[in-house]
Amino acid sequence: MLLGALFSESGKHCVVSRVWKAENAWERARGLLGRPRLGEGEGLLLEPCRSVHCIGMSYALDLVYVDRRGRVCKLVQGLKPGRFSASLQGHATLEMAAGALQKTGIRLDDVLVWREEGR
């Protein structure tokens, strides 16, 4: 997985400071299964990804779906274990610990840009 961060469209404001980006189908399929809970300021970016399930998870997630341009098209707070979520307009999904979404200030129609660490 690649490590980076998510920024506002202008690139001036860091929205989520530690974001791992799944590099291949296996990493996207596994997602957070069998991994420790994400901490504050952490997330997992799955691209492409229009749906998420929490089957086999022991904790809830907050989700941010973005379209191909990085525009936030759907927000989900506290998706519980065993549940499913999807967005027809979504192209990528950011998974975060439950409660993290509110702290980020991310809103519908915001544009987010992922930047690999060191670039």
Encode pLDDT of 77-92 as tens digits.
999 999 999 999 999 9
Looking at residue 33, its pLDDT comes to: 83
- DSSP sequence for 75-111: EEEEEPTT-EEE-SS-SEEEEEETTHHHHHT--TT-B
pTM of this prediction?
0.94
Nearest to 1 by CA among 15, 22, 18, 31: 22
Cβ within 8 Å of residue 53, ≥6 positions away: 83, 84, 85
16-49, pLDDT tens digit by residue?
Answer: 999 999 999 999 988 888 888 899 999 999 999 9
pLDDT greater than 80 at residue 115:
yes
Looking at residue 10, its pLDDT comes to: 78
User: Residues of the chain with pLDDT > 70: what percent?
Assistant: 98
Contact of 104 with 42, CB cutoff 8 Å: no
CA distances for 85 relative to 2, 51, 70, 117, angstroms: 24, 6, 19, 29
Q: Which domains does the chain have, with CATH numbers?
A: 2-116 (2.60.120.1140)
